[in-house]
Structure formats: C-alpha cells, structure tokens
A and B are shown apart, each in its own frame.
Chain A
Amino acid sequence: MLQLNNIEVVYSNVILVLTGVSLKVSDGAIITLLGANGAGKSTTLKSISGLLYTELGEVTDGSITFDGARIDHMKAEDIYRMGIVQVIEGRLVFEHLTAEENLRVAAQGKQPAANIKRNIEMVFEYFPRLKDLRRRTSGFLSGGEQQMMVIGSALMSMPKLILLDEPSLGLAPLLVMEIFEIIRRISKEEKVSMLLVEQNARAALDLAEYGYVMENGRIVLDGPSGSLKENEDIKEFYLGLSELGKEKSYKDVKHYKRRKRWLG
C-alpha cells in the first residue's frame, strides 16, 4: 500500500538526513521503525505525510507511492485527505479547544455531519475515558489523556494509514501497555495500517509484525519482529540483554568489546 523507494531527504538544500531509505507497509499491517535519536525516523514519517515541506525539507531522490499514486511532492493537506494521518511526536494538542473539539477539527475534507458524530462515538468507544472529558479544555488534560485524544483524533478522518511518532513518550509503563493494546485493536478492527516509530523497542516489536532499524539516515536492518527480537545486535543495543539472555550488568558494558555487526 505504502512504498518508500530509495528516498533521499535534504533539509534547507544542504543537510542530507536520509539516504536510500526504502520500506513497505502493506494493508492492515503494523510496521515499526526503530533507531536511536537523530537516526531519521521522524524525518521519514514527515516525508510520507508531507509535513517535511513546512520545515524546509525536500525529498530530492527516490519516490513515495501510496495506493499506486506518487505522493512525494504533494501538499500535506492533500495527503491527509488521501488517508494518511501523522500523529506528531510529543502529543501536540490544540490546548484551548475542548477534547471533543480537538476530535471534531480533525474531520477535515468533505464529511457529512452524521459521519463526524459516528466517528466521535467510535473514538469514545476505544477511549472511554475521553467521553467524560469531552467538554474539558484539552490543555489541562493529563499526558496520557492527551495521548489518547491525539490517537483518537487520527481516526476522525477514517484513514488507511496512521503514522505514529513515539506514542509512548513520557508515559507510565502501564499506560503504554494500555495504549499499545488499543492501537492493536484499532488496527485490527478498523483495518488501518500503522507505521510506528518507537524508542521502546520491546513494546514496539511485540506489537508490530515487521520492523526496520535505522541508523544515520539509513535502514541498516529489517525483518519480521520475531527474528529481529532474536538478533544479537538488537538484543544488545535495543533490548538491553546480553548474549545469554540475562539482564546486562555494568561490568559487561564495554563498548569496545562488542561491536555492531552492521556497518553504521
């Protein structure tokens, strides 16, 4: 459904941030994109959603296709209407609008009023807590509630693909599990594909069926989640386990002894 073909992204005409990134998201799949800070994960998402252009970035090479159409030079608003929604990192909300208005405003494009109403009910079904908070100013909601609202509002335009940028950021572990479970349900029940960017590699690999690992603006490793979880390097650098599968002790953390097998 979504295919990135060897794309290259340059910020303000000089800063090369992505080189030769290719990935594929098929219908209804949950795909995860792992990597350290600054690896280019968010940039990859922004180049798909078109938000790259407001930040003076540009896809200079390669192509992005969605359902057979080239989208790599389309406007963000039009990409949104085609069914790709990006949930921006850091749970940004319209602080002065109420929770319900935050959902309502995400229903852009031509939608009958009954549709909007039905979608709001659907969001409340996934996140029952939001229903009690619908009239509250969203700036005063807690972090977890805001994250629920942000994910919920992504459903308002009935998208085919949701790009999730670090939904677990700054949330308590239990809440992360709850939210990930809901993401799984949404993907299954609404038949929405998800491209999930995460720091929490363990949770992400449990949720996704296929994963990509990025480093320095390149994809260095990819494979089904099961085999990624077994990969020595992933275990060492992302899951924090030693070769024996035990928790690592401080004594073992000597970077010069253990090097990644891929070329970063």
Chain B
Amino acid sequence: MQTFLQFSLNGLGVGSIYALMSLSIVLIYKSTKVFNFATGQMMMVGAFICWSLIEWNVPMWVSLPLVLGASYLLGLVVERLVMRPLIGQPLIGAMLATLVLGELLHGLGMLSWGGWQRKFATPIFPLAKLEIGGAYLSGAFIGALIVSVIIFIVAAFLYQRTHIGLSMRATAESHMLAQSKGIRVHTIFALTWAVSAIVCSLAGIILSDVLALGITESAGVVYKAFPAILLGGLESILGALVGGLVIGLAENIAGGYISPLFAQIVPYIVLLIILVIRPEGIWGLKRIERI
C-alpha cells in the first residue's frame, strides 16, 4: 500500500507538469485550431532563460517575472512572424510551421546554451518534503502541484468569466463570424500565443527541477502531453488537467510495478486506446450537426 501511495504521489507530481504542458497546447488549439508542435522547444527556451538569469546571480523573485515577460514577448513574436501570415491558409500549413519553429528554437538553443544538461544551483521551490502515510511528496512536486492548480484556476476563470475569454471561445468556433461581431481576431490570436507561452515556460522551469534541464531533454517531455490532451479532449481546460494527472499516474504506477522501461510506453498505449474508443476525448467538443 505504501509503495502504491508513493508511486501515486510521484505520478500526481509529474502529472501536474504534464497538465501544464497540455494546457499550453489546449489554449492555442481552442482559439486558433492550430496544434502547437513547438511547445516543447518554447518550454526549453523559457527554462534556459531562467537558468541563465540565475547563473548571473539574479535572484529568483526577479528572474521569474523576467522570464514570464520574455515568454510573453516570445509568444507575441511567434504569432506575428510565423502564424499571422498563415491565417486563411489551410491549417496543415500552420501546423507544419509550428514544427519548423520547434526545430528553429531547438537549433537556436543549441547555439546559445550547448547540448549538455544543466541543473539549477538551488531548487526552485525551497519546500520541505511532505510525509503522507509513510510515502513522501518531494518539495519540487508540492511546488508543481500548487503552481498547476493556481494556473488552472486562473485559466478557467479567464475563459468562463471574462469577456476576453468569451471572445476567445467565440473566435475558436469561427474566425469569420467572430470578425463580423467586431472581435479583433488578430489581437485574440496574439494574446493566446502570449498566454500559452507563459504557461509553457512555467512548465519548463518546474520540469527542470524534477527531471532535467537540457535542450533536447526538456523539449522531449512534451510528447507525454499529447496523450494527456487527447484523453481530456483537445478543447477542454479541465480535460488538460485530468488528462495530465491520469497520464502521470499511469506512467508512474506501471513503471513502479512492471518496469521503468514499460513506463516509457504507457502514455502511448493509453493514447491508442483513447483514439479507438473515444476519439474526441472525455470533454472534447462534439460537432453539433443537425440533419
């Protein structure tokens, strides 16, 4: 029981990071119908900027806002330079553009920071580990859980309760109709990318404390978010949270009881099962079609 509890706690901790990554992808997908394949690389860039600032002895409470500000700008720039020229073109073009963008960021990261792994000098969250029924939840995981919960509450509030969130949801349904209602579609897109980039960077920074901080390694983790998103539903914020946690749990429990190697493929087994039995995910939007 105690081992099971330990695996579950680890699973929840890792899962909350997957959830953040999923949220970042879901936000963009909701507004623009583009699946952002560069999420992992954007995550890595955020984490490395943070690492560099800390190395230059900038205190954490200064560098974190700086990183988030930089991510916001990165989001705006990406939208303006890469995505906006592709508006009105087939979606496949925009998706391929995000793939290319990912590779570009990857290359720039390699040039700036080199390919070897780093570590933050001090943990990001100076929290003591927590004992629950003989199992331990590490400080990093506690921090990850707290940050995720806050971010998800903010995101849900933004989408459900504010006018700008309503405009975002409307834009997601039809760009043309949104424009006819006076919504500034370009502004909505830019804002979405910027917010998503912030979430991305946060995930990257937290991740570096738990797993590793490397150009390729940080970006690679994002593939775990894909099954999480499909499980929860591509358009659902709640789905991103639940999907992330479930994938984290499944991975850790299977890894603990069966084999750590098996853990690597568990998310993709889950992914295959979802695609077969419920392709739109648990809370994904069903197309409303009346015949």
Stretch at the interface among A29-37, A103-111, A204-212, A224-232: A103-111
Q: Please, how many angstroms separate the alpha-carbon atoms of A54 and B174 in the complex?
A: 13
Q: By the criterion CB–CB under 8 Å, are A94 and B174 in contact?
A: yes
B85 lies within 8 A of chain A by Cβ = no
Q: Which residues of B contact A247 (CB under 8 A)?
A: none
| Contact A95/B288 with A54-B88, A101-B166 known, Cβ cut-off 8 Å | yes
Q: By the criterion CB–CB under 8 Å, are B173 and A77 in contact?
A: no
Contact with A along B30-68 (1 / 0, CB 8 A): 000000000000000000000000000000000000000
* Contact for A105 among B166, B185, B285, B288, CB less than 8 A: B166
A157 lies within 8 A of chain B by Cβ = yes
CB neighbors of A among B143-202 (8 A):
163, 166-167, 169-170, 173-177, 179-185
Q: By the criterion CB–CB under 8 Å, are B169 and A51 in contact?
A: no
Q: Please, how many angstroms separate the alpha-carbon atoms of A153 and B175 in the complex?
A: 17
A137 lies within 8 A of chain B by Cβ = yes
Q: By the criterion CB–CB under 8 Å, are B180 and A76 in contact?
A: yes
Q: By the criterion CB–CB under 8 Å, are B173 and A96 in contact?
A: yes
Q: Which residues of A contact B167 (CB under 8 A)?
A: 105, 108
- Shortest Cβ distance from residue A138 to the other chain B in the assembled complex, whole angstroms: 9
Q: Which residues of B contact A77 (CB under 8 A)?
A: 179, 182-185
| Contact A96/B288 with A88-B177, A104-B166, A108-B167 known, Cβ cut-off 8 Å | yes
Q: By the criterion CB–CB under 8 Å, are A106 and B288 in contact?
A: no
Q: Please, how many angstroms separate the alpha-carbon atoms of A107 and B177 in the complex?
A: 14
**A/B pair count, beta carbons within 8 Å:** 72
Q: By the criterion CB–CB under 8 Å, are B182 and A157 in contact?
A: yes
Q: Which residues of B contact A81 (CB under 8 A)?
A: 182
CB neighbors of B among A51-99 (8 A):
51, 54, 76-77, 80-81, 85-86, 88, 92-97
| Contact A96/B169 with A77-B184, A137-B288 known, Cβ cut-off 8 Å | yes
Q: By the criterion CB–CB under 8 Å, are A96 and B285 in contact?
A: yes
Query: How many A residues touch B, CB cutoff 8 Å?
Result: 28
* Contact for B177 among A49, A94, A109, CB less than 8 A: A94
- Shortest Cβ distance from residue B84 to the other chain A in the assembled complex, whole angstroms: 13
| Contact A140/B288 with A49-B180, A81-B182 known, Cβ cut-off 8 Å | yes
New A-B contacts (9) at CB < 8 Å, excluding given A101-B169, A108-B181, A140-B288: A77-B183, A94-B170, A96-B285, A97-B166, A105-B163, A106-B181, A108-B183, A139-B290, A157-B182
Residue positions of A touching B, CB distance < 8 A? 49, 51, 54, 76-77, 80-81, 85-86, 88, 92-97, 101, 104-109, 137, 139-140, 153, 157
29 of the cross-chain contacts (CB-CB < 8 Å) are A49-B180, A51-B176, A51-B179, A54-B175, A76-B179, A77-B179, A77-B184, A80-B180, A80-B181, A80-B182, A85-B180, A92-B174, A94-B173, A94-B174, A94-B177, A96-B169, A96-B173, A96-B285, A97-B169, A97-B170, A97-B173, A101-B169, A105-B163, A105-B166, A105-B167, A105-B170, A106-B182, A108-B167, A108-B183
